[in-house]
Amino acid sequence: MEATTPRKPALGFIFVTLVLLVLGFGILIPVLPGLVTQFNGGNVAQGSDSYGLLVGVFAAMQFIASPILGSLSDRFGRRRVILIALAGTAVDYVVMGLAPNIGWMYVGRVISGATAGALATCNAYIADVTPPEKRAQGYGLVGAAFGLGFVIGPALGGLLGRYSLRLPFFVAAGCVAANWLYGAFVLPESLAPENRRPFSWKRANPVGSLLALRRFRGVVDLAWMYFLLMVGNTIMQSIWVLYMGYRYHWTTMEVGLSLTFAGIMSVVVQGGLVKRIIGWTGERRGLVLGLLVSVVIMASYGTATRGWMIYGLIFIGAFGGIAGPSAQALITKHVPPNEQGAVQGSLSGLTSLAGIFAPVFGAWSFGMCIGDDARWHLPGIAFYEASVLMLLAIVLAVRSFRLDDRVGAAA
C-alpha cells in the first residue's frame, strides 16, 4: 500500500515507527520469562533454560531473514519491508498470547523472527536521510526511541502482568498494529529510485552477506566489534528479569520500574546528549569511551550486593550507550548509498547471531551457578562474561582504527 500524499522523508517519521515498535516489545519483557517459567512448572532454573532457547529460536530465524529483507529494501524500498516486518511481529504476539503450551511459543517466535527486519531497515532509512557527519546523532535517535519505548513498555507490561501474564501480549499486538497503520498511511519512502539496486541471493543469504562486508575497508573489524557489543548487551537483557528476581527478590512491577528508569536514561543520553558527547570526543573516542563504561558497569551489575545499587549503575551505564551510535556512524561512512540496506541487514544478522547464542549461554551460565548442585554459587556470572566481551570489543575497534589510518596514510 503506497502513501497517497508525497512526504519528505525525515528522522521524525522513523522515530515514531521505532517508538511504537519498541513499546510493543517492551511490554513483554517483565512477563515473558514468567510465562515460560510457568510452562516449566515454576522451576526457575528450568525456566531460564527454556527462555534462553526461546529467544535463541527467534534470533536464528532473524539471522537467516535479516539480510534477505535488507537486500529487498535496497531493491523495493524501506517502507514496504518495514510493513512486512511489522505484520509478522503482530501475528507473533497474538500466537504467544493464545499459546496453550511452550510449543506454541516457539511457533510464534519463528513467525516473528522470519519477518524481524524492521530495525535493520529503520537503520538503513536513517542512513538514507542523514548526511555522514550527522549519522551518529541519527543513530542516537534509535537509542532514544528504544529508551522512550522502554520508559512506557516495561512499566505497562509489569502493571498488566499483575492481572494476567497473557494480557500484555495482546496489548503489544495492538501497539504493533497501530505501528503498521502508521507505516501504511504516514511513513514516506526514503530510498530514491536512482539508489536502488537489483536483488541478489548471493548477497542476501546470511553467510554471503557477512562475507560481503570484506569489500568495505575497515568494516570487518568494526562489524565483529559490533557483534561482541551485541552479545554482551544481549546476555545482560536475557537474564535481567531472572537475575533481579533471584538476587534481590524483585517483583514483576519492580523489574518493570528498573527497565523504565533505564529507558528514561537512554532517552536523556541518546536523545539529548549523544550529539554533544560525540561532538566533543569524536566518533572513535566516543566508541571506545562507551565500551569502557560498559566494561565497568557490566562487572558491577554482577557484584552489587543491594538492589538499590542497580539504579546508580543504570544511571552511569546509560553513557555506555554512545558506543552503538558511534559504531553505526563509522560503519555507514564506509558504505555507498545503494548498499546501506544490505549492510544494515548484515549487522542485523550479526545481532541475530548474538541473539542465538547469548541468551542460551547467559541463561545456562546463570542456571548453572544458582542450582542446588552448583559447584560455585555465582549469580552474577553472566554479567562478568558480558564485561569481558566488551573489553574484547575495544581491541577490535582500536585495530580497525589503525587499519584505517595506515590505508589513509598510504593513499
CB atoms within 10 A of CB 409: 7
Rounded to an integer, what distance in angstroms lies between the CA atom of residue 250 and that of residue 325?
A: 32
pLDDT at 1: 43
Cβ distance 13 to 186 under 8 Å?
yes
Closest CA to 44 of 243, 255, 295: 243
Compute CA distances 386 → 34, 311, 376, 383, whole Å: 23, 19, 18, 5
pTM of the model: 0.66
**DSSP classification of residue 8:** -
What is the per-residue pLDDT across 122-155, written as a single tens digit (0 to 9) for each?
878 887 887 776 777 677 777 777 777 767 777 7
Q: Residue 328, Cα to own-chain centre: how many angstroms?
A: 13
Unique residue bearing C-alpha cell 501475528: 91
Closest CA to 165 of 97, 119, 222, 100: 97
The list of the chain residues with pLDDT below 50 reads: 1-5, 409-411
Q: Is 131 strand, coil or helix?
A: coil
Of the chain, the end-to-end C-alpha distance in Å amounts to 47
pLDDT at 60: 78
Rounded to an integer, what distance in angstroms lies between the CA atom of residue 147 and that of residue 266?
A: 5
Unique residue bearing C-alpha cell 543520553: 269
Compute CA distances 264 → 153, 238, 260, whole Å: 12, 20, 6
Architecture in CATH of 11-187+208-410: Up-down Bundle (1.20)
Compute CA distances 47 → 40, 363, 364, whole Å: 6, 9, 11
Closest CA to 388 of 324, 290, 299, 313: 299
What cell does 203 get? 548477497
Rounded to an integer, what distance in angstroms lies between the CA atom of residue 202 and that of residue 346?
A: 13
CB atoms within 10 A of CB 6: 7
Rounded to an integer, what distance in angstroms lies between the CA atom of residue 319 and that of residue 327?
A: 14
